[in-house]
Amino acid sequence: MKLLVLTIALALPTAAQAEPLNVQASNDVLAMFAQRLAGDAATVTMPVPDGIDPATWQPRIAAIAAVQDAGLIVLNGAGYEGWSTRVSLPRARTVDTTHGMDAELIHLAGQSHSHGAGPTHSHDGVAPVVWLDFSLAARQAGAIAAALTRALPDAPVAANLAALQTDLADLDAEAKALGAAMQGQTLLVWQPGYEYFGRAYGIPLREVTFDAAEPPSPAQLAALDAAVADTQARLMLWDAAPPPDTATALAARGIMPVIFTTAANPPEGADVLGMLQANLAALRAALDPA
């Protein structure tokens, strides 16, 4: 039994340790959750460099080694971390925040596309940006809290979870109000990633793929025209401001871009929760320009 206790103690470092728990989270939303839940008892790091989508990150060996060394590794799951399928991670120190959500996950049958000179790819499989359904985000926070409670039994994780879930519930209520206000109006989206937001809040979505850095191609503009004709949509969600040519093309068609970020890898020091709140505020403002 002594050995058993020792083993568990090794696997789950406790708050008695002088050093804060080293937590590695696979995107900034999860990192924010982990930091708010653990407080000063943990140092939370998001290993993906600035400017790279965590969903397409290909870690080098040094980055993998840093993740392996963490006391707790927080993953989104749902296929978000493609790199994790070829990497050795310690399961005892890894939390998959969408584990047990199989019934809630959205399965995609997407079409192939490319971003600029990047490789052609499709988003078949499971939609991974779960946290834009704020009720599921609260469950993700709960999964992280459970792991942190085991790792940091003396930290006020439960109290921090209650505060975080209150904030997420506020976001959920605001998003529901927005969904009701939209009255079934379709939103165009520039790429996948908004599936859970649309489903959770009753907002129909239509994807018209554009590139974040390239001018629109004739095929893309034709697809946009077809989508506008089908749906009479006048708003389009973008993760960041569209490139000038695309913005001009959208304006010519009466489409207003709305900055609605997934907040997966914002610039360092950004307020992630504030960005999620700003998404809803931007959409509210676009709905009601007056």
Partner 1 sequence: MTNALFLALAYMRFHRIASAALIMAIALIAAVPVGTRVVLNASENALGTRAAATPLILGARGSSLDLTLAALYFTDAVTVPVTQGDADAVWDSGLAMAIPLHVGFTARALPVVGTAVDYFDFRGLAVAAGRPMAQIGEAVLGAGAAARLGLKPGDTLVTDAQNLFDLAGAYPLELTIAGVFAPNGTADDRAVFVEMKTVWIIAGIGHGHDAVQSVNGQSVVASPAIQQFNRITPENIDTFHLHQNTALLPASAVLVVPYDAKSAAILQGRYLEGDNPLHLIIPATVIEGLLQTLFRIGRILDAVVLIVGAATVTAIALALSLATQLRAGEMQTLFRLGAHRATIAKTIGAQIAIILSLGAVLAATIVIPLAYLSPQIAAMLVAAAP
Residues at the contact surface with partner 1, assessed by CB under 8 A: 1, 3-4, 7-8, 10-11, 58, 61, 64-65, 68, 85-93
**In terms of C-beta distances under 8 Å and separation of at least 24 residues, what long-range contacts does 285-288 make, across chains too?**
286/235, 286/256, 286/258, 287/178, 287/181, 287/182, 287/235, 288/181
Give the Cβ contact number of residue 195 at 10 Å: 23
Q: How far is the CB of 214 from partner 1 (least distance, A)?
A: 24
Length of the chain: 290
Q: Is 148 helix (H, G, I), strand (E, B) or coil?
A: helix
Nearest-angstrom CA–CA distance, 188 and 185: 10
N- to C-terminal Cα distance for the chain?
A: 68
Q: Is 189 helix (H, G, I), strand (E, B) or coil?
A: strand
Q: What is the CA radius of gyration of the chain?
A: 20
What residues contact residue 260 under an 8 Å CB cut-off, 6+ apart? 194, 237, 238, 239, 279, 282, 283
Q: Tokens 């568990």 map to which residue?
A: 8
Q: Tokens 């975080």 map to which residue?
A: 164
Tokens at residue 2, please?
Answer: 């002594």
Closest residue by Cα to residue 49 from 41, 40, 58: 58
